[in-house]
């Protein structure tokens, strides 16, 4: 059984006990979070497609930890002008583990 769910503006294919990294969620570590924007549910070949979401479908997940992603270097340069600009960025992520899929 799997489902396609919208979490923080991104779509993920989730299965029971699967771990994922999603954009930072406002939840404590160890807390349980629910996602109700389920776009598709496949239950052993029986597919339910939502318009736009599947009614009554819900994903329950547990927050494992909050982490930072790898550093991304942004480097801008204009040749022959002496212009160089360097910037870095680290994205904040939340690692979750899917507990149940209802739908």
Q: Is 77 domain-assigned?
A: no
Q: To 10 degrees, the CA torsion angle through 60, 66, 53, 38? A: -40
86 inside domain: no
Which residues, other chains included, contact 10 with Cβ-Cβ below 8 Å and sequence gap of 6+? 22, 23
**CA-to-CA distance for 40 and 85, rounded, in angstroms?**
44
Q: How high is the pLDDT of residue 101?
A: 94
pLDDT, residue 41, reads 96
Specify the number of domains making up the chain: 1
What domain range includes position 22?
2-66+94-102
Instruction: Report the pLDDT value the prediction gives residue 48, as an integer from 0 to 100.
Output: 94
Query: Which candidate, 97, 6, 98, 90, places its Cα nearest to that of 50?
Result: 6
Q: Which residues of the chain have pLDDT under 50?
A: none
Residue 73 lies in a domain: no
Q: How far apart are CA 8 and CA 21, in angstroms?
A: 11
Any domain includes 46: yes
CA gap 78, 36 in Å, rounded: 47
Question: Would you state the pLDDT for residue 103?
Answer: 81
Distance CA(41)–CA(14), nearest Å, equals 10
- Whether 61 is covered by a domain: the verdict is yes
Query: Does the residue 85 lie in any domain?
Result: no
Tokens of 9: 């503006």
Confidence at residue 93, expressed as pLDDT on a 0 to 100 scale: 97
Residue 89 lies in a domain: no
- Whether residue 83 lies inside any domain: the answer is no
- Count CA within 13 A, CB hemisphere, residue 101: 21
């Amino acid at each position: 059984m799997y489902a396609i769910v919208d979490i923080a503006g991104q779509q993920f294919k989730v299965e029971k006990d699967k771990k994922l990294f999603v954009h930072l969620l406002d939840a404590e570590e160890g807390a349980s979070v629910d996602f109700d924007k389920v776009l598709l549910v496949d239950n052993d070949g029986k597919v339910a497609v939502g318009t736009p979401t599947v009614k009554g479908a819900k994903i329950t997940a547990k927050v494992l930890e909050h982490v930072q992603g790898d550093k991304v270097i942004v480097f801008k340069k204009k040749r022959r002008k002496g212009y160089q600009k360097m910037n870095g960025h680290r994205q904040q992520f939340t690692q979750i583990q899917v507990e149940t899929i209802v739908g």
